[in-house]
Amino acid sequence: MSQLHLLSPLGFSAAGVAAKIKSTGKKDVGLLLCQQMASAAAVFTTNRVFAAPVKIGRLHIASGKLRGVVVNSGNANACTGLQGQRDALEMCQLAGELTGAAATAFLPSSTGIIGHTLPMEKVRAGLRQAAGELGASQDHALGFAEAIMTTDLKRKAAAARFKVGKRTVTLAGVCKGSGMIGPRLALKPSLHATMLAYVTTDAEIAPLLLRKLMAQAAEKSFNAVTVDDQTSTNDTAAILASGMSGAKISDGAGAKRFAAALTEVCQSLAIQIAADGEGASKVVAITVRSAASEAAAKIIARSIANSPLVKCAMHGNDPNWGRILCAAGMVGQPFAQEKCVLRLQNTRVFAKGRPLTFDAAKLSAELNAKQVQVVLDCHLGKGEATCWTCDLSQEYVAINADYHT
């Protein structure tokens, strides 16, 4: 799969350019285009303080159709009032003019600092350059992925491919996200990083089904990753389906396989976000099993994933499991310490109300890994959920104490 990229699905082109919105001179304007009107779906932040591009994006996605995505990094265009809305709309208008499409056929996104109006001269120049450089090569995919990065150290991409009859469906995605990560994405605003994710596919699929499958995939991926539990003003995950593979996905086996592939791509992207969390040295996967309900499992897993004490212990390779149980019990969900069993890297550390004897030095050495597994069996029911997080390091503080000034 390693050779697959965002532009492998038939019908897509993209570009990423440096428009000097970022003081670093790195790429900061991206354009993703489908050569024909695509079925599209998107989920957005549930933060009540949502950015201007989210407001415009919700309007444009309502038709279930898009031609592309227009995005800048280095500035979130959030808390920028009416001017912000005009600017987000202008990004779409210009993208449309440059590609021969309607403004409403573009989903706008922004990521970066909150509370500053966009430097539109730079955005316009960047967009014109991007439109002139559109292409479907791997370099183009990489350029787009780079243009959406902020504090990310790595580009994030994933892809999957499956067959429907004799036809091959390809899904591919890119995303960004490192800090202000605690997405609670939904089709409609209702509850709670900036994370941006864009998935392309050449499947032929109706917008309503795509919407449903995208929401389901987001729930088990982006909505299950946390760096600092901060639901951004700008979180957006969108999918565009060109239909150009000729493989039709409707209900049934095809939809199941599409859903599985989409979830796989989104989970890979979400785990890459945790791995590249600000200051992170490892990914910690927290699985809660046999909880009273799936909802309880999610809440408990997220509480453990968000505990600064657990995250610091993970940074120190410290098997301080008491902090995990503390986080599990504090969220008001059914939980019984006398029934639960806790495993770190497959070593049982606590069972049925009592601490177990284990080789702390050996376990600490095992925690010194890129991937750490925490498994908590509640023995209360059938609920299960996994949440991905990262360790909390001094580096996270350094990055975030000095970001603005």
- Using CB under 8 A as the binding rule, whether residue 392 contacts its own copies is answered as yes
- Residue list 6-35, contact with its own copies (CB under 8 A): none
**72 has which bridge partners?**
29, 110
Q: Name which position in 221, 232, 242, 268 contacts its own copies (CB under 8 A).
A: 232
Q: Which C-beta is closer to its own copies: that of 8 or that of 307?
A: 307
Helix, strand, or coil here: 362? Answer: helix
**Interacting residues with its own copies between 118 and 177 (CB under 8 A):** none
Interaction residues for its own copies, span 45-74 (CB under 8 A): 46-50
Q: How far is the CB of 345 from its own copies (least distance, A)?
A: 15
Name the segment binding its own copies (CB under 8 A); options: 40-48, 146-154, 210-218, 240-248: 40-48
Q: Which of residues 316-345 bind its own copies (CB under 8 A)?
A: 316-323, 325-338
Positive or negative CA dihedral for 72, 52, 262, 153?
positive
Taking CB under 8 A as the rule, does residue 208 contact its own copies?
no
Would you count residue 114 as binding its own copies (CB under 8 A)?
yes
Our answer to whether residue 226 is catalytic in this structure is: no
Structural contact between residues 267 and 227, judged by C-beta atoms closer than 8 angstroms? no
- The answer to the question of residue 190 lying near its own copies (CB under 8 A) is yes
Render the burial of 275-288: b for 16+ CB within 10 Å, e for the rest.
bbbbbbbbbbbbbb
Q: With beta carbons less than 8 A apart as the criterion, state whether 60 and 126 touch.
A: no
Part of the chain binding its own copies (CB under 8 A), chosen from 15-23, 64-72, 237-245, 302-310 = 302-310
- For the beta carbon of residue 73, count every other beta carbon within 10 angstroms: 27
Q: Which of 59, 139, 163, 308 binds its own copies (CB under 8 A)?
A: 308
| Length of the chain, in residues | 405
Interface with its own copies, residue 398, by CB under 8 A = yes
Contact 335, 289 (CB under 8 A): no
Token pair 């591009």: residue: 53
Of 216 and 317, CB closest to its own copies: 317
What is the rounded distance in angstroms from the CA atom of residue 341 to the CA atom of residue 327? 15
- Residues with active-site annotation: 194
